[in-house]
Structure 1
Amino acid sequence: MKALTIFQPWATLIAIGAKPYEFRGWQPPKWLIGQRLAIHASARPIKASEIRALIRALHGDENMTNPCLRKDVALPVLERVLDALKKSPDTLFGTKEGLTLPHSCVVCTAVVGEPKRGDACAVEFGDNAGNDSDRDGTFNWGWPMLDIQPVASIPARGAQGLWDWRE
């Protein structure tokens, strides 16, 4: 199965159904559309500043871009993540307070839907929706994440781009 490595908390947000699109600068290959893809949480540490920015945006901060997340699902998780970070930065790698955001592992699989332009995806999320990344070119294409199936965190080394994952 092909896999895609994604930073946390976005990998977990896909796994829980809060992030219906994975945005990339490129369209998925045609052979991948309709196929199941493993979503891998990268080894990159979570940045508290990114969590705070997502929370502010979801609360409607007019200076922030709406990050194209399902607020009702994403916000409680992000607030728990921020609370855990305040208490102890290493909390996110364990299970203190019942919170787990795994790293370096596959967290779910999803079927890749027909890609849409990023601006077309943003329309679904109302005014001021758009790219939540500080990296240019990452909002060109929205890959719909369909039929999401969470998995017990399965350790795996990630890679850039699409890569082969064997359970």
Structure 2
Amino acid sequence: MAKPAQGAKYRGSIHDFPGFDPNQDAEALYTAMKGFGSDKEAILDIITSRSNRQRQEVCQSYKSLYGKDLIAALKYELTGKFERLIVGLMRPPAYCDAKEIKDSISGAGTDEKTLTRIMVSRSEIDLLNIRREFIEKYDKSLHQAIEGDTSGDFLK
């Protein structure tokens, strides 16, 4: 197996879009959803070429420009798997992690692999954000939810 060059820098695959303007993106998304039907290609192009941080800024700009929630507008305009994809991309990572944790402890048994993967691989700041999202979304603390569904080593 080849070793990377010493001192090589690694970068993630998702980068900020150069020349990003959240107001311009919010206006373009509004236009793509205006009238009968929606311009799915324009929606996909904008959302998939922005980092999550930039998508969150677009959500804020959309709200301030149009007084509406962008995610709610996307849910209204889109359907099926495309809707789930686009809405999922619009959510902050902590929201997605909180949902994955909830799903892992819901129902019979616990998906320990998912729960463990999230809990041990996130930074302290990420975990604080996940806790905040969990309380906001489920009206229950993350600690209470995990404690109520797990036993053994998870309670240590």
What TM-score do you get using the length of structure 2 for normalisation? Answer: 0.21
What TM-score do you get using the length of structure 1 for normalisation? Answer: 0.21
Q: Which structure is larger by alpha-carbon Rg, 1 or 2?
A: 2
**Higher relative helix content:** 2
